Amino acid sequence: MNKIIRIKSDTIESAHKCESGDYEYYKRDVVPRGYSNNTKVSVYIIPPGKSAYPYHFHYKNEETFYILSGEGLLKTPAGDKIVSSGDFIFFPASPDGAHKLTNISDVENLTYIDFDVTHDVDVAVYPDSNKIGVWGKDINKTFYIDDSKEYYDGE
| Residue ranges of E strands in 1-154 | 15-20, 23-31, 39-46, 57-58, 62-69, 71-76, 79-84, 88-91, 100-103, 110-117, 122-126, 131-136, 139-144
Domains defined along the chain, listed by start: 14-119 (2.60.120.10)
Q: What is the pLDDT of residue 16?
A: 67
What mean pLDDT value characterizes the chain?
Answer: 90
Is pLDDT above 80 for 37?
A: no
The predicted model scores a pTM of 0.88
107 three-state secondary structure: coil
Higher per-residue pLDDT: 72 or 13 = 72
Q: What is the pLDDT of residues 44-55, one digit of tens each?
A: 999 999 999 999
Average pLDDT over residues 55-75: 96
Amino acid at 154: G
pLDDT tens-digit series, residues 68-91 = 999 999 999 999 999 999 999 999
